């Protein structure tokens, strides 16, 4: 079987994203802009439309923004919001946060292996709406000619299904999606509640309940779940099974000589090269730092949204708690020059400037 990706991120980047301000809107912003119940909202929508039409900005979607739209009740103005999202995003979405973090882990491996660090290029971050959960692919029998397979791929890519959240609203089983979301978020609430309780008890006993210790705990968990698998994959791609132990020992020795032997400081330095992954750790540490507040299902979506601020020029949310987290409790947006805006009028002012 031959496999072709339906959408190449580099093509999406060149056609829609390059040379534009990338502005990420939280779901609460999309809802307010759709309602247009105030002059502030109407002016903001008009300015966003002008910025997209002039090629100054784009407002890409994401797994959480599309998922929360699909989860809205039937009586909500879903289609109206979907139309606005299609218009301002040009059908573009960030690829899944898991896929982006895998890219980050590969760039970290290159640095670990002794190469000059190269950050994840923006040209791999975006795709069309159909890829909001993962990379869409088509499989063809070996006897298919290359040009026939490519024509079929181009036909699939031109379908409205690939570039429209309105199409998703009209063709997906929304009741099934809502049910699966409910199951997933309930599991998230239960697991995070348990994790926070364990962390709080651990740090209470050690009397070292600090933000940095909490971040380090999250970094270790993410290193095990994301970075190590990517490192193993990179080693298997480059070396035979027999060569890996020797090559790994050499790479590790060289890295320790340049950056110091492992430990918290080195792990923090490694994840600093992975802004979305580090931001994930910082958000989770911030949440754990407040063990008395009950975990809510919305915490899952807030964290999912927040991660995309690592690769947005501007992140807009009306959630004061999320603003506080990104502006005051996480260093990634500030260190990387990302702007966090908390009002529609603030977004309008930015676009006019």
Q: How many CB atoms lie within 10 A of CB 271?
A: 28
Write out pLDDT tens, residues 194-211. Answer: 887 777 676 666 666 677
Domain ranges (residues) in the chain: 2-352
Write out pLDDT tens, residues 128-177. Answer: 999 998 888 878 788 888 887 788 888 877 777 789 999 999 999 999 99
d(CA 326, CA 333): 7
Q: Which residues pair with 315 in a beta bridge?
A: 24, 340
d(CA 227, CA 266): 14
Strands 339-341 and 314-316: parallel
**Between residues 150 and 40, which one has the greater pLDDT?**
40
Q: Which two tokens stand for residue 116?
A: 């000059």
Q: Which residues pair with 138 in a beta bridge?
A: 4
How many residues are there in the chain? Answer: 353
d(CA 330, CA 40): 29
The answer to whether residue 351 scores a pLDDT higher than 90 is yes
- The overall average pLDDT reported for the chain is 89
CB 223 within 8 A of CB 271: yes
d(CA 33, CA 152): 37
pLDDT at 244: 82
d(CA 270, CA 260): 12
The answer to whether residue 232 scores a pLDDT higher than 80 is yes
Q: Which two tokens stand for residue 60?
A: 């890409």
Please provide the DSSP assignment of 184-236 as one string.
HHHHHHHHHHHHHHHHHHHHHHHT---HHHHHHHHHHHHIIIIIHHHHHHHHH
The answer to whether residue 16 scores a pLDDT higher than 90 is yes
pTM of the prediction? 0.91
In a 10 Å sphere around its CB, with 0-12 CB exposed, 13-18 middle and 19+ buried, how is residue 5 labelled? Answer: middle
């Amino acid at each position: 079987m031959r496999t072709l990706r339906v959408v190449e991120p580099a093509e999406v980047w060149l056609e829609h994203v390059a040379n534009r301000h990338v502005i990420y809107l939280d779901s609460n912003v999309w809802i307010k802009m759709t309602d247009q119940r105030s002059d502030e909202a109407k002016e903001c929508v008009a300015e966003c439309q002008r910025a997209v039409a002039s090629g100054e900005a784009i407002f890409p979607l994401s797994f959480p923004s599309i998922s929360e739209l699909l989860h809205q009740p039937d009586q909500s103005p879903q289609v109206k919001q979907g139309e606005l999202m299609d218009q301002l995003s040009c059908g573009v979405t960030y690829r899944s946060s898991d896929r982006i973090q895998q890219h980050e882990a590969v760039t970290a491996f290159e640095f670990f292996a002794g190469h000059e660090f190269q950050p994840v290029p923006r040209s791999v971050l975006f795709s069309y709406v159909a890829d909001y959960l993962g990379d869409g692919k088509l499989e063809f029998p070996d006897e298919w000619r290359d040009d026939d397979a490519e024509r079929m791929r181009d036909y699939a890519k031109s379908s409205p299904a690939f570039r429209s959240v309105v199409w998703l609203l009209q063709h997906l089983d929304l009741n099934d999606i809502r049910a699966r979301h409910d199951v997933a978020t309930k599991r998230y609430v239960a697991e995070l509640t348990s994790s926070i309780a364990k962390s709080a008890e651990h740090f209470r006993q050690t009397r070292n309940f600090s933000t940095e210790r909490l971040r380090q705990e999250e970094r270790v968990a993410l290193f095990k779940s994301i970075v190590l698998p990517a490192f193993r994959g990179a080693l298997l791609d480059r070396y035979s099974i027999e060569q890996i132990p020797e090559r790994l020992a050499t790479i590790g020795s060289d890295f320790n000589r340049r950056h110091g032997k492992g430990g918290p400081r080195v792990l923090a330095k490694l994840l600093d090269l992975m802004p979305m992954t580090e931001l994930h750790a910082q958000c989770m540490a911030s949440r754990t730092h407040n063990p008395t507040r009950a975990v809510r299902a919305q915490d899952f979506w807030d964290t999912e949204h927040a991660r995309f601020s690592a690769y947005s020029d501007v992140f807009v949310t009306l959630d004061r708690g999320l603003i506080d987290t990104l502006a005051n409790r996480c260093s990634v947006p500030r260190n990387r020059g990302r702007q966090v805006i908390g009002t529609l009028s603030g977004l309008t002012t930015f676009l006019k400037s």
